[in-house]
Amino acid sequence: MSALTREDTEALIAEVLEVYPEKAKKDRAKHLMVNDKTLESSKKCITSNRKSLPGVMTMRGCAYAGSKGVVWGPIKDIISISHGPIGCGQYARAGRRNYYVGTTGVDAFCEINFTSDFQEKDIVFGGDKKLAKLIAEIEQLFPLNKGISVQSECPIGLIGDDIEAVSKKASAEIGKPVVPVRCEGFRGVSQSLGHHIANDSVRDFILSNRDGQAFEKTPYDVAILGDYNIGGDAWASRILLEEMGLRVIAQWSGDGTLAEMENTPNVKLNLLHCYRSMNYISRHMEEKYGIPWLEYNFFGPTKIKESLRKIASLFDDKIKEGAERVIAKYTPPMEAVIAKYRPRLEGKKVMLYVGGLRPRHVVGAYEDLGMEVVGTGYEFAHNDDYDRTIKEMGETTLIYDDVTGYEFEKFVETMKPDLIGSGIKEKYVFHKMGVPFRQLHSWDYSGPYHGVDGFAVFARDMDMTLNNPCWSKLTPPWLKKEAEPLKQAA
Amino acid sequence: MANIMIRQNPAGGLVFYLPKRDLEAAIEAIEFDTPEKWGGELKLENGGSYYIDPIPKPARLPVSVRARRLGAAED
């Protein structure tokens, strides 16, 4: 049961909106809703993927963040150049903890910041020569790279540099793919367009590179799409799939390689974890190579079991048996985790505000632990995400799209959740308000949270945060003293 | 004119997808649906309608085609 009724939640939305000027109020009202499971389509009650209002605090990122940070960055043997001024690359460097196996600087490059470090003269005279020189230098210093991608930052688009021509020439010279990615930060309304641009550049420059080459196929080949191996997530997912008899031949893009991506057209099925950032390439592969794709969810025992069975249903009996075997094997350890943590977490309320898939995917894991998600929202989702969310959420859950800093704080003040899951930009605001908080973008330097192994870590982390003794020590002693004698007198 | 993709959902119905806007909607009605002539006006569940030039029915879905917008579905 939700803490608030439908009327209360609607009143809360109205109250929060009161502070805006007329026009802004009208616009923001479209982005907030109370969940109604009977709805077929989210279209009529929530608007998403729209430009944020000037003047409000939005938590969105930019197209460069979506392309370099999310899709291209985690590919370990491709060097992604942050082409433009140095800040974008430096502040996006290694922050997402996309784990990989490899020797950094030798055959893996995710954690290094490669940038063309634009100066005034590059803006005035153009940076194409610098880019060509940079690529030659990379080739000399890091000969084991398998390819290079050029991630444009805002000025590249503004001054009109021709990175495509430079990349084409460089690619011919070094004999490796050099991919120009037009992901200037000003494009689109959020990082979502960056995912799309990145997917399109993978499609144009990478995906069909090995078409027609011999590949030893098995009927059980699958690819994991949209798992960025944050804290080892993809590995925790991969072992489940391999144990049920499938062969994972590619990871997109956490701990992924160029060769894996080029071989992906040979798979039987694409398994899609983050729908928002990788549905574009899945749709393309479905059309071009006839590979079906399937969304799955590896957060929490209920969803893991459901997903394993769903995946197995597309294969023969051997895999179906394998799935049952895996479920049987892992049910006792998962139940042990629930038995340990559920009593400590039961009945707690959670509010989420994350990115592309977690606002709906982690709900199952929280419910397995007896917790309830009372509010959820996406930074950059589109309508199709909300269509999927409505079905997952409870009846009167508050749903907010691109929530502003002010709205989020007000919602938390009124709804008083026991835990908030969001990103680094929100973390310290809520810490100062005295609300337990977990970063759900990067798992707060923990992880993995996917799969069976991940669920144990997830439960432990939630317990660690929620039941941390520090939350009772937020009132300073001089304020406490005042309260205590009063109590005694009463 | 816009590029759209038509695919089949697991239930067997047709789904309309407009990559440029990330608009996904079920197709409620398709004007021509015979092996020789397939296409015409597409009525979407969200109230929009698009027109694609009739083509022989594609052997395999999804298929990308050019479409013209007849009635706006987007706000």
Q: What is the pLDDT along chain A (490 residues), one digit of tens a residue?
A: 456 788 889 999 999 999 999 999 999 999 999 988 887 777 778 888 889 999 899 999 999 999 999 999 999 999 999 999 999 999 888 888 999 999 999 999 999 999 999 999 999 999 999 999 999 999 999 999 999 999 999 999 999 999 999 999 999 999 999 999 999 999 999 999 999 999 999 999 999 999 999 999 999 999 999 999 999 999 999 999 999 999 999 999 899 999 999 999 999 999 999 999 999 999 999 999 999 999 999 999 999 999 999 999 999 999 999 999 999 999 999 999 999 999 999 999 999 999 888 999 999 999 999 999 999 999 999 888 888 888 888 888 999 999 999 999 999 999 999 999 999 999 999 999 999 999 999 999 998 999 999 999 999 999 999 999 999 888 888 887 665 555 555 5
Q: Does A235 touch chain B (CB under 8 A)?
A: no
Burial profile A133-160: b = 16 or more Cβ within 10 angstroms, e = fewer: ebbeebbeebeebbbbbbbbbbbbbeee
A196 Cβ under 8 Å from any chain B Cβ: yes
Residue B24 touches partner A, C-beta closer than 8 Å: yes
A290 touches chain B (CB under 8 A): yes
Mutate to test the interface with A, among B21, B24, B61 (most CBs of A within 10 A): B24
| Dist. CA B38–CA B59, nearest whole Å | 11
Q: Distance between CA A261 and CA A253 in Å, rounded?
A: 8
Could you give the residue numbers annotated as active site of A?
62, 65, 96, 195
Q: How many CB atoms lie within 10 A of CB A14?
A: 12
Phi, psi of B25 (to 5 degrees): -150, 145
Asked if A283 lies within 8 A of B46 by C-beta distance, the reply is no
CA closest to A276 among chain B residues: B22
A 33-52 near B (Cβ less than 8 A): 40-41, 43, 47, 49
* Closest partner CB to A283 (pick from B45, B60, B62): B62
Q: Does B64 touch chain A (CB under 8 A)?
A: yes
pLDDT score recorded for residue B75: 46
In the predicted model, is pLDDT for residue B67 greater than 50?
yes
Q: Could you report how far apart the first and last alpha carbons of chain B are, in Å? A: 18
Exposure b/e, A21-32, CB count within 10 A at least 16 = b: eeebeebbeebb
In order of their start, the domains of chain A are 1-60+346-490 (3.40.50.1980), 63-205 (3.40.50.1980), 221-326 (3.40.50.1980)
- Where do we find the tokens 């799939």? A241
User: Would you call A290 and B24 a contact, using CB atoms and an 8 Å cutoff?
Assistant: no
- Domains recognised in chain B with CATH numbers: 2-70 (2.40.50.240)
Residue A392 to residues A299, A365, A397, A440, B6, Cα–Cα distance (Å): 13, 12, 10, 18, 26
Peptide bond into A448 cis (omega under 30): yes
Contact A458, A334 (CB under 8 A): no
Structure pTM? 0.93
DSSP A420-482: EEE-HHHHHHHHHHT--EEESSSGGG----SHHHHHHHHHHHHHHHHT-GGGGG-S-HHHHHH
Nearest CA to A206 out of A178, A235, A225 is that of A178
| Residue ranges of A 49-108 with Cβ closer than 8 A to chain B | 49
B45 with A41: Cβ contact below 8 A: yes
Contact of B65 with chain A, judged by CB distance below 8 Å, is answered with no
Peptide linkage before B64 cis (omega within 30 of 0): no
